[in-house]
Amino acid sequence: MPEPNDRQHAYRMLVDPGTPPDERYPGFTIAEPDAASHAARVGEVARRLEALFAAEPDLQAVTVWVAGTAIGVATATWYRPEPADGPPPEGPVLHRDGDRALLPGHSSRYVLFRYHCAACPRPLYSPAPEPPRCPVCDAATTEEP
């Protein structure tokens, strides 16, 4: 597992470099993916962020936490299709699609859970079915309906 600063560096391409981590944004927390390669771990987190923004159309940005380390702020514009002239593309279009590392379409395997921190007034999203600790204040969270 990478050290915290290494983790920030490893996942930096998933977040907006111009927006530093900020407690004003809802949080998205995920455990370090259990994949053999760095590319597979990053791809897993990217797919989870894509699923989050697809499920929550009003959500514009989240602070991304991987294994308790604040990575940065992921913005919806990076994970939602951009308007284009002509017919819309099939499936989501990500800024990283040019490298052909991601398959088109939405995954049907991911479930998104929304939690609420009792100590700070912010929602927290996670693919984990167990309520995580709040990455900002370490308070307990509860699942929202």
11-67 pLDDT per residue, tens: 888 998 887 777 789 999 998 888 778 888 898 899 899 989 988 989 999 999 999
Which SS3 state, helix, strand or coil, does residue 2 take?
A: coil
User: DSSP secondary-structure letter at 52?
Assistant: H
Provide the pairing of β-strand 27-30 with 123-126. parallel
Determine the Cα–Cα distance for residues 78 and 50; give it in Å rounded to an integer: 9
Instruction: Please report which confidence band the pLDDT of residue 100 belongs to, taking 50, 70 and 90 as the band edges.
Output: very low
